[in-house]
Amino acid sequence: MASQEKTGDAREIPYIAAITEGVRSVMLEQENAFIAGEDVAVVGSVFGIYRGLLEEFGADRVVDTPISEEGIMGLGVGAAATGLRPIIDIMFMDFLAECMDEVANQLAKMRFMFGGNATLPVTVITMGGAGISMAAQHSQSLEAWLCHLPGLKVVMPSTPYDAKGLLIAACRDDNPVICIFNKLSLRISGPVPEEVYEIPLGQANIVRPGENFTIVAYGRMVHEAIEAADELAKLDVDCEIVDPRTLQPFDTETVIESVKKTHRAMVVHEAVRFGGFGGEIAAQIQELAFDYLDAPVARVGAPFCPVPFSPALEKEYMPNAAKIVAEARELLGV
């Protein structure tokens, strides 16, 4: 069931600071939680996510590892199976390719294969997305890989509020959860309560209520969708924006109820359009709301090519508000 978050008079902090607060809250709450990854301790991660945590919690709980994603993920799986609650940092989500056996065949499967006798409360923090000229091996959006693996939960927060609340919920879950944060979003600010709170996994957010066009967007594309909705409003297109927040489990009910109201839908993600998670969302819409649709389900995603290094080419590659507006106008004939 969807929610429309009201943060009241909460102070505004950057997305990156919200992640830090979430991790710190979990470390204070769970004595058996620890952080492990490349450069997470002394440096505080290459993005600065964990700065100050080594000094507060010590080297036994904030652990710099060798440069080996296989080793890091194996550490997380083994530690969780023996009673700890690891927070594993994989610097770029592209690097999940280095440890996909541990992710797909151990992390996702072990609880099932052991009949529930082993729990795997592993939270994996990783960075996805393009936009800062880090080229083809450091800029991908590979969430569809992860959502296809039974046993994993996958979240992609779009705002600082969601980043903190979803991370805390992930760390409290007894199943493995992959938290995909967006590099280009790290400096955006938004209201975040100081107290500890969690956002239930599998609960979408109605970012913007509307009457005649549903845009389902997640991650940084939520902000592009909001900008596009402002432009489409000038054409009398009243967009409802649904942010799933959690891709696995997916809040199908909220999306379908929105489409039944608006009768038109578009799915937007930064990942490559072909084979992207948007195809699953579009399929669910046509399966469960076909009789309510007045037009085909539109999709906006990146072209089927590696992310370019060139800033000019990368800008052309990435989905944005203008491309959302153009696709909507073509669909609606406005």
Mean per-residue pLDDT for 44-50? 97
Instruction: Please report the pLDDT score of residue 82 as a whole number.
Output: 95
Instruction: Please report the pLDDT score of residue 306 as a whole number.
Output: 97
| pLDDT higher than 90, residue 34 | yes
Q: Are residues 178 and 31 in the same domain?
A: yes
In DSSP terms, 124 is beta-bridged to 88, 178
pTM score: 0.95
Instruction: Please report the pLDDT score of residue 10 as a whole number.
Output: 81
- CATH number of the domain residue 107 falls in: 3.40.50.970
| pLDDT higher than 80, residue 87 | yes
Q: Are residues 32 and 138 in the same domain?
A: yes
- Asked if residue 200 belongs to a domain, the reply is no
- Asked if residue 235 belongs to a domain, the reply is yes
For 105-130, how does the pLDDT look when each residue is reduced to its tens digit (9 = 90+)? Answer: 999 999 999 998 999 999 999 999 99
The angle that helices 277-289 and 252-262 make with each other, rounded to 10 degrees, is: 60
Supply the range of the domain harboring residue 177.
Answer: 12-191
Instruction: Please report the pLDDT score of residue 308 as a whole number.
Output: 97
| pLDDT higher than 60, residue 318 | yes
Mean per-residue pLDDT for 229-246? 98
- CATH number of the domain residue 229 falls in: 3.40.50.920
Among 161, 191, 221, the domain-final residue is: 191
Q: How many CB atoms lie within 10 A of CB 251?
A: 23
Number of domains in the chain: 2
Q: Are residues 284 and 170 in the same domain?
A: no
Q: Are residues 217 and 262 in the same domain?
A: yes
| pLDDT higher than 70, residue 214 | yes
Instruction: Please report the pLDDT score of residue 5 as a whole number.
Output: 59
Mean per-residue pLDDT for 8-18? 90
Instruction: Please report the pLDDT score of residue 288 as a whole number.
Output: 98
| pLDDT higher than 60, residue 6 | no
Mean per-residue pLDDT for 44-65? 97
Q: Round the average pLDDT of the chain to a whole number and report it.
A: 96
Query: 1 with 203: CB under 8 angstroms?
Result: yes
Calpha distance 35→32 (Å, rounded): 10
For 126-172, how does the pLDDT look when each residue is reduced to its tens digit (9 = 90+)? Answer: 999 999 999 999 999 999 999 999 999 999 999 999 999 999 999 99
Among 169, 191, 213, the domain-final residue is: 191
Burial class (CB in 10 A: 0-12, 13-18, 19+), 305: exposed
Mean per-residue pLDDT for 192-217? 98
Contacts of 334 (CB under 8 A, 6+ apart): 235, 236, 237, 328
Q: Which residues are catalytic?
A: 138
Instruction: Please report the pLDDT score of residue 68 as a whole number.
Output: 97
Q: What angle do CA 65, 70, 71 make, to 5 degrees?
A: 40
Mean per-residue pLDDT for 278-290? 98
Mean per-residue pLDDT for 269-296? 98
Six token digits for residue 180:
């995909």
Calpha distance 157→183 (Å, rounded): 12
Task: Report the SS3 class of residue 2.
Answer: coil
Q: Are residues 244 and 157 in the same domain?
A: no
Strands 298-302 and 265-272: parallel
